[in-house]
Structure 1
Amino acid sequence: MMSKHCLMVGAGLSGAVIGRMLAEAGHRITIVDARAHVGGNCHTERDAETGVMVHIYGPHIFHTDDAEVWDYVNKFETFLPYKNRVKTTSQGAVYSLPVNLHTINQYFGQTLRPDEARVFLESKADTSITDPQTFEDQALRFVGPELYEAFFKGYTIKQWGCQPTDLPASILKRLPVRFNYDDNYFYHKFQGMPENGYTAMIEAILDHPGITVQLETTVSRDQAAQYDHVFYSGPIDGWFGYELGRLGYRTLDFERFDYQGDYQGCAVMNYGDVDVPYTRITEHKHFSPWESHEGSVLYREFSRACGPEDIPYYPIRMVAEKTLLQEYVDRAEAEANVTFVGRLGTYRYLDMDVTIREALDCGRRFLAAQAAGEKMPAFTVNPL
C-alpha cells in the first residue's frame, strides 16, 4: 500500500484520532486548525491565577458504554472517576436532575416509594396525548404540567430560542425520569475526567512523527486539492463557501466570574426559570474533584442564535435545516477525495465517545479502502 499525504482540517477529536491511526499505518498526516490550540471545543487549560483546570468552551464530561473507546482515551491520558450530578434552581428552590425520586418527592412534598411515584406521576400526565409530536406534548405526557413548567419549559426556551411547541418530541426523549434516588446524570458504564485535561490527551494523540500540526491556519478548497485525501471536520456548509445558505446552529456566550471559596457546591447548576437570562452556571474546579483550590472560576452560559462569526455549538436540525443539509450532502458526495467527519462535518450533535467511535471506524474504512483499491466515501455515517 502506497503512503498517502492526508490533510485533516480541524485538530479536534475527529482529526486527531483519524490522523493518529493513519500515521501509525505509515501515511503522512498534516493537521490544520484555525484556532491557536488543539482540541476544538474540548480545549482545556489551567487558569494562571487559581490553578483550576478550565473547560474553555463549556464543560465536557466523558461517559460511554464503548469499552474500546474507553481503552483508547486511557492510552493517552489517565481518566479519574467523575460523576455528573446536576442541580437546578427553579421557582426559588434547588432540585436534582435528572428528575428522580428525590426530585418528585421534594417538589410535591411527598414521601413516595418508587411504585407509588410511578402511579402518582402518571396521574399528573396528560394521557389524552397518545402520539406526542412536539417537545411540549412529550413533556406533558411524560411528567405532567407542574414538572414541565419547573424543569423543562423555561430552560428549553432559553436554550433553543423558541417555544417548546416548535421543537420535536425527540429532544425530550433523551431526558430520563428515574424512580429511584440515583442522581448521576449519565447511566454509562465508563465515566470520568482526564487528569490533565482534554488538551493534554489530544496533544498526546497527535504526538507521532508522521503528524504535522499547523495552528492558526486555514486551507482553501484549492489548497486542499493538493493532498491525496482530505478529512474535513469543519462546517459542511463552510466547505462550499455557504453557497446555498448557512445551516442553523445555537451558540453560547460565556460570562466568566471568579470567587474565593466554593460558590455553588456543585459543577453544574441549571436555571429553569425563563426570567433568569442564563441557562446554567458551571464551577470548573468541581470537574476535577481530586484537586483542591481556594479560588474558583465560574461561567454563566447564555444561549443564542449563531451568527457568521460565532462558534457553532448545537445544530438545530429543524425541517428547513434538514432540507438544506440534503443539498449540501448531495454536493459533498460529488466531491473527490474528501470525507466529512465529526459534529460539524456531518451536522449532528455528537458526544465525545461517539465522535471517537466514528473516527476510529472512519480511519479503518480508509485503510481498508486503500488496501482494496476502492474509493473512500464522502460520509462513513449518514448525516441525514
Structure 2
Amino acid sequence: MKKYLIIGSGFSGSVLAQQLCENNIIHVVEERSHIGGNCYTEKDPETGITLHQYGPHIFNTDNVEVWNYIQQFCEMVPFINRVKSVYQNQVYSLPINLHTINQFFQKDFSPKEARSFIESLSDTSIEVPKNFEEQALKFVGKDLYKAFFHGYTKKQWGCEPTELPASILKRLPVRFNYNDNYYAMPLQGIPRNGYTEIFEKMLDHPNITVTLNKKITAEEIDFSEYDHVFYSGPIDAYFDYKYGRLGYRTVFFEKFTDEGDFQGNAVINYADQEIPHTRIHEHKHFTPWEDHEQTVYFKEFSKETEENDIPYYPKRLQGDIEMLEKYSEEKDKLSNITFIGRLATYRYMDMHHVIAEALETAKRFR
C-alpha cells in the first residue's frame, strides 16, 4: 500500500482521499477547524437553518459523471437560483433577460425586438474587447453596463473594470426570453442536508486519517514519509511568497437574525456603488423544503485579501500572471507533489470543475 499526504479537505482533497483510499493509506491535513473548505455548512444553533458559512454554493454542472458521483454522498435536491439586483431603488431580474430589459427601458419588447434593441446599444467600435468594461459595452451598451456591472464590479473586485480581463464577463449571459435561472447548466441542486455531510462520507474510511487545525508549510513536509503529496492550498503560500503575494479578493459577512422572511429570495445583489455590501443572501431560501419561523441573512462585503484572510477569487491581473509564471517554474522543478484545485492552480473553478479535476487526477495514482 502507498502512503499519500493530502493538504486541504475541500472538494479537491476529499475527492482524492475518497478515490485513493481503498488500496492506500491517506493522511488529510486541514488548517481550519473543520473539513469541507469553503463549502462547509452547519446548522445555525438559534434557528436550525442550514448556513453556507463561506457564502452560497449552488451545485450546477453539465457533467453527468460529476453529478452522479456527488450523489453517492448526498441527496441533491433540485434548486433554481433566481438572483435579483437592486439598482436605484428598483429590483431587477438577473441575469439580464427580457423582463430586465423591458422593465429597465419601460418597454414591452418581443424577443426579436429586444435583441435588435440591445444590438443597437452595442459599442460597435470595439472589435475585440481588451478588458471587462469593453466586453460589457460591446455586450449590452453603456446603460445596462452602468446599472448592473460597473458599480457592482468595482465593489467586488476593488479595481476599475478596465483592469479586469474580458473573460470574467463571458460567464454572464443575456437572454431574450423570461428565463431567470441564473445558471445555464442542466443539472442544478443543493444537498438536502448541507455540504458537510458529503465531506464526512467521503472521508469516512479506515484508511483515511484527518488532522484538523494544522497548517503545513513546504519546510515542514517530510517527502520521504509519503509516496506522493497532493497540495490544494495557495501556490504562493507553498513557496512562502518568495515572489510576492498573488492577488485575490476575499469576502466577509455581517450576520443578522430576524423573524419571518427578510427579503423573499435567496440572493439579491446591490449594484449601486454607494451601497457598501455587494449582496445579501438569506439562507432559509436555499432549503425551501424546510419550514422556519425565523430567518438568517448575511450582508456580504468584498475586500483585498490580506495575510490572515481566506482567499476566494483570483484576480489574475497582468502582474499576477507574471508572478504565477515564476511560481509555476518553481512547481515544475518539484517531483512527488501535485498541485490541484482553485488555489494551487490560481484559476477560477466552480465546484464541478474541481471535482472533475480531482477524479481525473486520482485515476493516475490508483
Classify the TM-score, shorter chain.
over 0.9
1:296 aligned partner: 295
**Stretches of structure 2 lacking an aligned partner (at least 5 in a row):** none
Map 1:4-83 onto structure 2 (within 5 A).
Answer: 4-24=2-22, 26-83=23-80
Which deviates the most, 130-139 or 111-120?
130-139
Map 1:270-309 onto structure 2 (within 5 A).
Answer: 270-309=269-308
Shift of 1:224: 3.9
DSSP 3-state at the match of 2:364: helix
Report the TM-score, using the length of structure 2 for normalisation: 0.98
Map 1:173-212 onto structure 2 (within 5 A).
Answer: 173-212=170-209
1:115 aligned partner: 112
Aligned partners of 1:197, 1:354: CA distance in 2, in Å?
A: 19
CA displacement 1:168-222 (0-9 Å, x = unmatched): 2111111100000000011111100001111111111111111111111223433
Aligned partners of 2:351, 2:104: CA distance in 1, in Å?
A: 33
DSSP 3-state at the match of 1:269: strand
Identical aligned residues as a percent: 55
Q: Does the 8 Å contact 2:75/2:191 carry over to 1?
A: yes
DSSP 3-state at the match of 2:71: helix
Q: Does the 8 Å contact 1:284/1:298 carry over to 2?
A: yes
CA displacement 1:310-351 (0-9 Å, x = unmatched): 000001111111111111111111112110001111111110
Aligned partners of 1:48, 1:131: CA distance in 2, in Å?
A: 52
Shift of 1:244: 1.6
Aligned partners of 1:321, 1:170: CA distance in 2, in Å?
A: 15
Shift of 1:66: 0.5
Q: Does the 8 Å contact 1:224/1:230 carry over to 2?
A: no
Aligned partners of 1:265, 1:124: CA distance in 2, in Å?
A: 33
Aligned partners of 2:186, 2:91: CA distance in 1, in Å?
A: 27
Q: Does the 8 Å contact 2:11/2:37 carry over to 1?
A: yes
Aligned partners of 2:42, 2:332: CA distance in 1, in Å?
A: 38
1:91 aligned partner: 88
Shift of 1:119: 0.6
Aligned partners of 1:193, 1:103: CA distance in 2, in Å?
A: 26
RMSD over aligned CA atoms reads: 0.9
Report the TM-score, using the length of structure 1 for normalisation: 0.93
Map 1:126-275 onto structure 2 (within 5 A).
Answer: 126-221=123-218, 222-225=220-223, 226-275=225-274
2:328 aligned partner: 329
Shift of 1:120: 0.8
CA displacement 1:124-157 (0-9 Å, x = unmatched): 2221222211211111111111111110100000
DSSP 3-state at the match of 2:72: helix
Code of the residue aligned with 1:14 in structure 2: it is S
Q: Does the 8 Å contact 1:7/1:224 carry over to 2?
A: no
CA displacement 1:283-328 (0-9 Å, x = unmatched): 0110111111111111111111100110000011111111111111
Aligned partners of 1:284, 1:114: CA distance in 2, in Å?
A: 34
Q: Aligned pairs, how many?
A: 364
1:380 aligned partner: none
DSSP 3-state at the match of 2:92: strand
DSSP 3-state at the match of 1:14: helix
DSSP 3-state at the match of 2:263: coil
DSSP 3-state at the match of 2:221: helix
Code of the residue aligned with 2:276 in structure 1: it is P
**Stretches of structure 1 lacking an aligned partner (at least 5 in a row):** 368-384
